[in-house]
Amino acid sequence: MPKTKTIYVCQSCGTQHPKWQGQCSACGEWNTLVEEIEVKSKNKIERSPSNALNRPQRISEIGAVGEERKVTPDKEMNRVLGGGLVEGAVMLLGGEPGIGKSTLLLQLALQARGMKILYISGEESAQQIKMRASRIPFENEQLFIVSETRLEAILAFYKNLQPELVIVDSIQTIFSETIESAPGSVSQVRECASQLIRLAKSEEVPLFLVGHITKEGMLAGPKVLEHMVDTVLTFEGDRHNSYRIVRTQKNRFGSTLEMGIYEMNNQGLREVSNPSEIFLSQGNELLSGVSIAATLEGLRPLLIETQALVATSAYGTPQRSATGFDLRRLNMLLAVLEKKCGFSLGNKDVFINMVGGIKVEDPAIDLSLIVSVISSLHDLAVDRTSVFAAEVGLSGEIRPVSRIEPRIAEAAKLGFKTMYISTQQEEGLTGKYPGIQLIGVQKLEEVFNRVFS
Ligand code: TYD
Ligand code: MG
């Protein structure tokens, strides 16, 4: 009989505590401690492959790995992976339930015609996956599906099949018989992930792990997983919107600035190669409270429509609400308008929305947002051929933004005629982009005078 001991493991950070407590003393999270049985014999599991030949090598002697990439048929996926699949790379795809993680990876597997792929589902039966696959208009004879949750069985399937890519959907459903605690607990997830990662590394096979994200935006259970894998991708989007974005949170083989955009339709996910089109609402009529910002999502310029609604507040405390934008930043910008430009917004409700359900963190959106607010406040429409790209400082000054040139090029390509940027950035660029007039501005008043004249 192996000796067992009860321990309490924080489901957020994985720290073990001898006694239950309300707050994890390591990560500060509340109510994350869960009772688990620690089996002493577990320690007998080999922690790392013993390699008698292992020795320190000169850096010049080490053969380059990760250079060779298998380019997948999915361009957006290649982009977020930094060019394609790397041998032995482990990629964690996180996202809320129902966002489309299974669809994304199944579609990738179906598209990669001729590539031998093992797709392990711990959540759906093979028939359910078949049903989903029949909606996706691709076929891959070499795609093998199995519904399995036992780690030991999965490792055996790999040995028999020798696939070129393994997909495990999801890591939280997989459990090892050598560990006492329940599937989905930190110990199980950590141990199963580390064994799968070891498999990927020793067999040099790329491996996708699907991970669920809890409401708080954390990978359910162990945050530890993020440290163990090579690449962390998150799949996000608004449930009521068909657009989905894959972002790279961490990537040992490429940039973390990348993102891929898809549209969910009844045939799976469609790659969106020209994202600006979807974040600009259609129609040419002039509406107040709307303007266009040239933002940058990762390395890609993206033109996004910002919408504002300013209305007299019916009740005492005015409401401020922002969808797709940081509420604190909105409050800051409103304070600048009030204090530096003399607009009275103290008794107004202000609502902000980014078209297309995207979340924007780029400060270059500030100017467009302010213009939309003033446009709504005074009910004056903004010319639809104008676009804005500047940060706004605390004293109402217009500040430069990163990588202005791709933004200008994108706006010019989409047929915009005027672009408002900071004066500092205008220098040297005038005339470089024919077809679009650059207007350098220093203060918010200058913008208002020109836009609403
Ligand atoms: P799913 O991949 O199951 O999400 P996850 O694995 O992240 O939990 O996606 C489920 C949603 O995708 C479901 O609401 C239906 C939708 N969907 C489509 O709209 N079109 C399709 O072709 C497919 C396969 C799914
Ligand atoms: Mg799923």
If you write DSSP's letter for every residue of 314-377 in order, what string do you get?
A: SSSSPPEEEESS-HHHHHHHHHHHHHHH----TTEEEEEEETTS-----GGGHHHHHHHHHHHH
Bigger pLDDT: 181 vs 149: 149
Beta bridge partners of 271: 262
For residue 400, what are the contacts with CB-CB under 8 A and spacing of at least 6? 390, 391, 421, 422, 424, 425
d(CA 405, ligand 1 centre) in Å: 37
The alpha carbon of 121 and the centre of ligand 1 are apart by a number of angstroms equal to 14
320, 350 in Cβ contact below 8 A? yes
Please give the Cα distance from 447 to 291 (Å, whole number).
13
pLDDT-derived band at 205, boundaries 50, 70, 90: very high
Q: What's the CA-to-centroid distance between 236 and ligand 2, angstroms?
A: 14
For ligand 1, whether the C-beta of 295 sits within 6 Å is no
Could you tell me if 4 and 38 are in contact, meaning their C-beta atoms sit under 8 angstroms apart? yes
Planar angle of CA 182, 183, 185, nearest 5 degrees:
75
Ligand 1 atom closest to the Cα of residue 97 is: 8
**Given the CA of residue 123, which atom of ligand 1 is nearest to it?**
6
Which tokens in the block code for residue 162?
Answer: 């020798």
Find the 98 Cα to ligand 2 centroid distance in Å: 7
Are 157 and 118 in contact, with CB atoms under 8 Å apart?
yes
Task: Assign 173 a pLDDT band (cuts: 50, 70, 90).
Answer: very high
pLDDT of residue 221: 55
Residue 216 scores a pLDDT above 70: no
Choose from 8-22, 169-183, 360-374 the range with maximum mean pLDDT: 360-374
Ligand 1 atom with the shortest distance to the CA of 104: 2
CA 168 / ligand 2 centre spacing (Å): 10
Per the DSSP assignment, residues forming a β-bridge with 268 are 265
Average confidence (pLDDT) over 168-183: 88
Whether the pTM exceeds 0.85: the reply is: no
Q: What phi and psi, each to the nearest 5 degrees, are found at residue 146?
A: -145, 140
For ligand 1, whether the C-beta of 240 sits within 6 Å is no
Compute the radius of gyration of the chain from its Cα atoms: 26
3-state DSSP assignment of residue 152: helix
The CB of 260 under 6 Å from ligand 1? The reply is: no
Does the C-beta of 99 come closer than 6 Å to ligand 1? yes
The pLDDT mean for the chain works out to 87
The atom of ligand 1 lying closest to the CA of 169 is 6
Instruction: Calculate how far, in angstroms, residue 5's C-alpha sits from the geometric centre of ligand 1.
Output: 41
Atom of ligand 1 nearest to the CA of 132: 24
**Mean pLDDT within 178-199:** 87
C-alpha distance from residue 271 to each of 77, 355, 394 (Å) = 9, 19, 39
Question: What is the distance in A from the centroid of ligand 2 to the CA of 99?
Answer: 8
Q: Is the pLDDT of residue 427 over 80?
A: yes
DSSP lists the bridge partners of residue 247 as: 234, 259
- pLDDT at residue 42 tops 50: no
Residues measured by CB to lie within 5 Å of ligand 2, the ion = 102
pLDDT, greater one: 5 or 427: 427
Q: What are phi and psi of 20, to 5 degrees?
A: -75, 140
Tell me the pLDDT tens digit for each residue of 134-157.
999 999 999 999 999 999 999 999
Ligand 2 centroid distance, CA of 20 (Å): 33
Ligand 1 pocket: which of 214, 233, 264 to mutate (most atoms within 8 A of CB): 264
Residue indicated by tokens 């989409």: 414
pLDDT of 6-30, one tens digit each?
888 887 777 889 998 999 898 888 8
pLDDT of 388 reads: 97
What pLDDT is stored for residue 69 in this prediction?
Answer: 84
Phi, psi of 12, rounded to the nearest 5 degrees = -95, -50
pLDDT tier at 45 (50, 70, 90 boundaries)?
Answer: very low
* Beta-carbon contacts of residue 430 (< 8 Å; ≥ 6 apart): 438
Q: Tens of pLDDT along 81-122?
A: 988 999 999 999 998 888 999 999 999 999 999 999 999 999
pLDDT-based confidence at residue 219 (cuts at 50, 70, 90): low
Rounded average pLDDT over 199-219: 84
367 CB near ligand 1 (under 6 Å): no
Ligand 1 in reach of 101 Cβ (< 6 A): yes
Distance 210 CA to ligand 2 centre (A): 8
* DSSP E strands, 160-266: 165-169, 207-212, 231-237, 243-251, 259-265
Interval 264-323: pLDDT, tens: 999 999 998 777 777 777 666 788 999 999 998 877 888 999 999 999 988 778 999 998
Helix (H) or strand (E) holding 338: helix 327-341
Interatomic CA distance for residues 226 and 239, integer angstroms: 25
Name the closest-CA residue to atom 23, ligand 1: 268
CA atoms 202, 203, 205, 210: torsion sign? negative
Angle at 348 between CA 343 and CA 351, to 5 degrees: 105
Model pLDDT, residue 259: 83
Asked whether 302 and 324 are in contact (CB, 8 A), the reply is: no
Mutate to test the pocket of ligand 1, among 92, 101, 102, 103 (most ligand atoms within 8 A of CB): 103
Under 8 Å between Cβ of 262 and 244: yes
The maximal CA–CA distance of the chain, rounded, in angstroms, is 85
Residue 172 has pLDDT above 80, yes or no: yes
